[in-house]
Amino acid sequence: MFKKHVTLTVALDRELEKSTGALLVLHGAPTNDGKIFWEDITHNSLFNLEKEELQVKINQFSLISVLWVRTKAEIVKRLNFVSFKYTLSVLFNINHQHSPFDELALVFMSQDSYQERLYREHEDSALMQLKSKGFEVLGCNVGLESGYIYNQESLSVSIQLGEDYKLVDNQQEHMEFTVESPVWWSTGCFITIPLQGSSADVKIPCERIAVHGQHGHVLKLDHFAQSDFYGYLRRLFGVEKTISNLKPVARKFGLPEETLNQVVARWQSEEKQLEMILSRWRERQGSTEDLAMLIKALEGLEPEEYTVKERGQMHVKH
């Protein structure tokens, strides 16, 4: 390391696009394992297009690379040795239409791409593809994260399932695959894992997920929970599939009589009834995000309390 920063002047190639918006400046520094760690320093670089040069400040012996790029995926295609961080999203699909099993999905996407809404919410992204099939994101806690990953690096993924589930066809709770940077920097990639569930109404698909890279990377996730309370209640009460009497649900939540009357007034739309019940309950609980509290609040509620008999369903539909 230098005692103070040094200004380095780099000549620009005349063939580079005459716009700083198309130029990417990468700073490379050696790591302890002998590899080069690259970071984007474009925003800290001073461009002078008239003199066809740029200036950067460095505090150690460094490599400076100037690229003309259109997308982040192109960066990785050109520099497939660039290390990077990623975001692992865990999704879950219960009772989907095309399989008798529930499914767990793991989505891997470069951290930079995930943080950009254009990439994350693009219709071709792995996340949006899964969500369009009914998958919902599970909330979780990042217990440990260290190190970076590289293109073509081998990753090992271990999954510890919850007691409510087991793998289908004797699959292993351990799998390996190879990082493909161009995909991770664009749409992201995903793995789906079919699960055989117990007869329990409330199921927690997994308890822990650990990812280990061959170059020292470690990522551990735990405390998984369904974060979509509304989606959970919709599935529990069969909204859109059958007609339910949601007034007993509001009573079970301990909501005041005024709210019960408002629920009844919205009898033509179970979705609006459910939204109101959930909203009022969360207000009373302090906007909790703990699904376990919701489940506990519904303990003792029997299906016959909210199920509408067949004749009653015919009457409501007509």
Per-residue model confidence as pLDDT tens digits over 65-119: 776 655 554 554 455 556 788 999 998 887 655 567 888 899 999 888 888 888 8
The single residue listed with the structure tokens 């509620």 is: 301
Predicted confidence at residue 318, as pLDDT, reads 42
CA 70 to CA 98: how far, in whole Å?
39
Collapsed DSSP state (helix, strand, coil) of residue 296? helix
Cα distances (angstroms) measured from residue 267 to each of 14, 39, 270: 70, 57, 6
Whether 196 shows a pLDDT value over 50: the answer reads: yes
202: nearest Cα among 97, 265, 294: 294
How many Cβ atoms sit within 10 Å of the Cβ of residue 315?
11
Mean pLDDT of 193-200: 75
Higher pLDDT among residues 30 and 188, named by residue = 188
Q: For residue 128, name the pLDDT band (cuts at 50, 70, 90).
A: very high
DSSP, residue by residue, 53-81: EEEEEESSS-EEEEEE-SSHHHHHHH-TT
3-state secondary structure of 112: helix
pLDDT attached to residue 212: 94
Task: Return the pLDDT at 231.
Answer: 66
Q: Find where tokens 């090992």 sit.
A: 156
Q: Are strands 23-30 and 63-68 parallel, antiparallel or unpaired?
A: antiparallel
- The pLDDT assigned to 133 comes to 86
* Listed range (60-69, 101-110, 150-159, 175-184) with the worst mean pLDDT: 60-69
Residue 47: how many other CB atoms lie within 10 Å: 17
Produce one character per residue of 246-283: b if its CB has 16 or more CB atoms within 10 Å, e if not.
bbbbbebbebeeebbebbeebeeebeebbebbbebbbe
Residue 277 has pLDDT above 50, yes or no: yes
Q: Highest mean pLDDT: which of 7-16, 159-168, 282-291?
A: 159-168
* pLDDT (0 to 100) of residue 157: 94
**What percentage of the chain has pLDDT greater than the value 90?**
11
Cα–Cα distance measured from residue 140 to residue 178, given in angstroms and rounded to the nearest whole number? 24
